[in-house]
Amino acid sequence: MRVGLLACAVKIASKVVNPSSFSPIHRCIELGPNCVRACSEYGTIQIPVETELSEPALLDCVAVGAVIRSLGQYEEVYLHSEGNRVYWSNDNAHGHWDVVKEDNQIPAISHSSFPWKPPDSFADALLLASSAVDAASVSIGIYGLVIERRGKLLRLVSSNSISLALAVVPGEGYPTRDRITIRPPIPSILASLLRLYPDLMLDVTRDGIFVEDDQVCCQLPLSPPLDHDLFAVADRFSTKKITAEIDPAAVKRFLLRAKALTNRHMSSVVELRIEAGNLILLHKAFTSRTEEYLLADGIDPSASLAPLLLPIELMTVPLEHVDTVVLDHLPQGVLVLQREHPTFEYVLG
């Protein structure tokens, strides 16, 4: 078979493999006569692909991937099993993988209904909305990305208690009214599948998220609901009467400069204030000070607001994806950054 076909199938299957798992089956992929399969706590996946093997063999994913990546993508690779080994060869090299002994089996995906075609913006929305997820927030019950349908819109939100990320995409036809929660790496796995297979169809049930087209079938797990209603928090900052367009590249350059000047024993924060209609960023360290007036079209020339201290790391996260700053909530110590297509808001404070 062509190396490129097998390499593509292995790469996709490896998205749900967990190399650090204690369970052998979660570290492996299964090469079979008609498909490549894998499973872990991150989900179950199967990719149709024809091989020369007569029966399925469970193999270490890292070992298989290392060999396949080292071969020319347009070469032919030949596979056959003998005893407890799967042998591979091409014109110039050969080797084998030991079959992993495991009592458990990779579960079959028996779901048959896939009623929803996600919009093109859904993959981006998954990544943007999960940008505030922080593993440290598991202890306060907000570790995860929450998805809900509200009217004709689908809203996705995450938070780490200091910042909140919200994305909104068209949701007409989304197959459930229930609010669901998924945890990393599920949002990135789903986003990568949607980008690889634009024609994927999707369903959501209590058993998970199911996606399918003629090239892949995958089941991704849901997580328990969060302890706090993040949408209620997001709604508190939905007012957007005072906005200004900003230059994200200029802000990012300032933050990089400020971070480089920060003593490693100090917290990396910058001060944002509005003075005489100007948006000003200020950073002070033991031996340095840097201040910059930013172009921000739309601020009232007479407007002035007290300084707001913001963490550099959290400000850097959304800058590549926003172009507008919302100033309504600065008196409450909250900065909102946003953009359209897909609608994305990043609340910081």
Q: Which of the two residues, 42 and 280, has the higher pLDDT score?
A: 42
Lowest pLDDT segment from 30-39, 142-151, 246-255: 246-255
d(CA 55, CA 309): 61
pLDDT-based confidence at 295, cuts 50/70/90? Answer: low
Q: Is the pLDDT of residue 215 over 90?
A: yes
Please name each of the domains of the chain with its CATH number.
Answer: 3-98 (3.10.150.10), 122-235 (3.10.150.10), 243-348 (3.10.150.10)
Lowest pLDDT segment from 100-109, 258-267, 316-325: 258-267
pLDDT of residue 266: 67
CB 109 within 8 A of CB 210: yes
d(CA 197, CA 193): 6
d(CA 173, CA 153): 10
DSSP 27: G
The closest of 193, 254, 227 to 16, measured between CA atoms, is 193
pLDDT of residue 270: 86
How crowded is residue 6: how many other Cβ atoms within 10 Å of its Cβ? 23
Mean pLDDT throughout 60-85? 94
d(CA 78, CA 80): 7
151: left (phi > 0), else alpha (psi -120 to 50), else beta? left
- Name residue 324's amino acid: T
Mean pLDDT throughout 144-164? 96
pLDDT of residue 276: 78
Q: Which of the two residues, 334 and 174, has the higher pLDDT score?
A: 174
What is the sign of the dihedral through the CA atoms of 305, 229, 312 and 316? negative
CB 156 within 8 A of CB 346: no
Q: Is the pLDDT of residue 126 over 80?
A: yes
Mean pLDDT throughout 106-132? 95
d(CA 204, CA 25): 25
> How is the chain split among helix, strand and coil, in percent rounded to 5?
25, 35, 40
pLDDT of residue 77: 94
pLDDT of residue 237: 94
pLDDT tens-place string over residues 244-290: 888 888 888 888 888 888 877 666 888 888 877 778 888 887 778 88
The closest of 28, 57, 202 to 116, measured between CA atoms, is 202
pLDDT of residue 9: 95
pLDDT of residue 314: 82
